[in-house]
Amino acid sequence: MGNRKGQLTFRRKKKAMTPPTPPAIEVVNNSMVAAAAAATTSKAVVGKKKAGGARLWMRLDRWGQSELIECDKSVILKRVSIPSRDLRILGPIFSHSSSILAREKAMVVNLEFIRAIVTAEEVLLLDPLRQEVLPFVDQLRQLLSHKSSSKRVADEMITQDDGMQSPTAGQWLPVPEAAEGLQAELPFEFQVLEIALEVVCTYLDSSVAELERDAYPVLDELAINVSTKNLERVRSLKSNLTRLLAQVQKVRDEIEQLLDDDEDMAQLYLTRKWIQNQQSEALMGAMASNGMVPAAPHLRRLSSTRSGSLVSNYVNDHDVEDLEMLLEAYFMQLDGTRNKILSVREYIDDTEDYVNIQLDNQRNELIQLQLTLTIASFAVAVETMMAGWFGMNIPCTLYKVNGIFGFSVGIMTAAAVLLFLLVLGYARWKKLLGS
């Protein structure tokens, strides 16, 4: 019985110890719920931050496919593999600067209102819905749609050619179709750059033409009538001219800097580097599969001499003739636009000189008039002095002479006039007065 009581008491103690377990589990569950809620809140905050830093981009690939995307900087940096400082150049702080930067897999273009990142396969355009950017988007779409139709025709020709030929295994290496789909003139990135330069140069030319159309009538009106209203119009005209000259000069200096450095121009050949990377990967794949190294001349069979020269231009790393000719053409166009602005500024300077000459002439005439009146005042003062002498209350025998008043007034007036003429003649002799 003692043992049974001991066992019963032991069981009762065991039952008394079991209830504390559920509260511990409840505490653990509460901590897990709090942690999950905190994680959800932090994700929501991060999502808000990302949404707040997102900007509108337009993506256009080399075959005409386009889409509007809204993403933040991190997505763009991962997509095009450029440093973050290059993306800051496209921001609002550097919106008034012009730059064309070459990177390993992309080209950063910041030309006035056109801010884009160009790769060998696509274009990422920032703020594509701006009024100034729409012409660039339209021309780019036209170019890419034309290339897309050309690609379909080329694919059909290649399919027919492949049906007629049977290449030997290991003799051909697959090269991306970019080498065939490219136009014979320029690779994809340079076609995009050419459209950007064309749109910017057209915009600057139209702005300069509008400036010329407004400038010459205003300056002619100022030359005729120097007034506050005309001077204010000329001041506004000069501020617009200075702004346009700075814009043209920035783009012109950037192109000139590229033309002076062949290495920077070579780095802008993105399609060339892309094709070389694809060929290297294909070569490594062929070596791994066949265990042999194909000869360099058999990297690709060419259907024509023209296509052979095209691919050879991509292989030559130091050939920058195409880009140099492109940049030189737009450099000359910008130089002509700059000369137009300088001619307008010279016309403004000439008009200002003419107005200053007019004002100086009027000022000289006023000075001559003032000097003439001063001489006349001096002569009248002398006559007044002589009249004062006779007005003194002192005894004089001339007071008793009949008709002496008119005679004395005539003599004094004649003396004053003679004195005026003498002083005026002296002033003209000294060239103080004009003839």
**Between 188 and 285, whose confidence is greater?**
188
How much is the average pLDDT of 183-209?
Answer: 87
pLDDT of residue 334 exceeding 50, the answer is yes
pLDDT of residue 103: 87
Choice among 170-174, 210-214, 352-356 with the minimum mean pLDDT: 170-174
Check residues 235 and 402 and name the one with the higher pLDDT: 235
DSSP conformation letters of 147-194: HHHHHHHHHHHHHHHHHH--PPTTT-----THHHHS-SS--HHHHHHH
Residue 8 has pLDDT above 80, yes or no: no
* Residue 287 and residue 299 in contact, taking contact as beta carbons nearer than 8 Å: no
Residue 424 has pLDDT above 70, yes or no: yes
Whether pLDDT at 215 is above 60: yes
Which pair of structure tokens corresponds to residue 390? 């006779």
pLDDT at 184 over 70: no
Q: Where are the alpha helices (DSSP H) in 18-57?
A: 21-53
Residue 145 contacts residue 298 (beta carbons within 8 Å): no
> What percent of the chain stands above pLDDT 70?
71
Report the sign of the C-alpha dihedral through residues 240, 242, 247, 249, in that order.
positive
Average pLDDT, the chain: 76
**282-293: pLDDT as tens digits:** 777 777 776 554
Can you tell me the mean pLDDT for 214-231?
91
Q: Who wins on pLDDT, 124 or 391?
A: 124
Model pLDDT for residues 239-264, shown as the tens digit of each residue: 999 999 999 999 999 999 999 988 88
Tell me the percentage of the chain whose pLDDT exceeds 90. 33
- For residue range 11-63, what is the model confidence (pLDDT) as tens digits? 444 444 444 444 433 333 444 334 344 444 434 433 443 444 688 999 988 88
**Phi, psi for residue 270 in degrees, rounded to 5:** -75, -40
